[in-house]
């Protein structure tokens, strides 16, 4: 009985992630506000960050010294879901008003910068403010 329920829940995760996806044009249509460099500098230090992506989430805290230790529950199969991966990394605010993160996962390096938009209490990050069809990454920032 429990196994079929667990399988149904696990299969629903990717569908839930896809249902919440927004493109930059959707964010702009909902009057999303792009955060300025000053707003990012106030929001990001000591922020607890959760990044929702297809298949799960990743989370870390933006330490004041620019370092992060990230954790991820993204993976395939029950074993990976129950044993999160860990990465060492850094964060900073770019000169052009982007939130930048570099992470060293066990099997790959991840480096990116995103323009951050706010719609109500939700945050979304995009690589470019010119590509309206780009799918945004969803973030939570809390202190």
**pLDDT, position 56:** 85
Domain boundaries 2-142, CATH class: mainly beta
**pLDDT, position 55:** 80
Alpha-carbon span 20 to 33, nearest angstrom: 18
Backbone angles phi, psi at 71, to 5 degrees: -130, 145
**pLDDT, position 54:** 81
Instruction: Give buried/exposed letters for 30-45 (b at 16+ CB in 10 A, else e).
Output: eebeebeeeebeebbb
Mean pLDDT, residues 113-124 taken together: 97
Task: Tell me which of 17 and 89 has the higher pLDDT.
Answer: 89
CA nearest neighbour of 118 among 27, 33, 31: 33
Please give the span between the terminal C-alpha atoms of the chain, in angstroms, as a whole number. 40
- pTM, entire model: 0.80
Strands 122-126 and 99-104: unpaired
pLDDT tens-digit profile of 15-43? Answer: 333 346 899 999 999 999 999 999 999 99
């Amino acid at each position: 009985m429990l196994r079929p329920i667990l399988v149904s829940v696990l299969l629903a995760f990717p569908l839930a992630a896809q249902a919440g996806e927004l493109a930059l044009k959707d964010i702009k249509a909902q009057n999303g506000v792009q955060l300025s460099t000053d707003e990012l500098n106030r929001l990001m230090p000591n922020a607890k960050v959760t990044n929702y992506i297809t298949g799960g989430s990743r989370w870390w805290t933006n330490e004041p010294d620019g370092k992060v230790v990230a954790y991820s529950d993204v993976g395939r199969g029950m074993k990976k879901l129950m044993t999160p991966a860990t990465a060492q990394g850094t964060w900073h605010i770019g000169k052009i008003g982007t939130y930048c993160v570099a992470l060293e996962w066990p099997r790959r390096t991840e480096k990116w910068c995103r323009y951050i938009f706010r719609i109500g209490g939700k945050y979304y990050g995009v690589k470019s403010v010119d590509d309206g069809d780009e799918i945004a990454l969803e973030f939570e920032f809390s202190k």
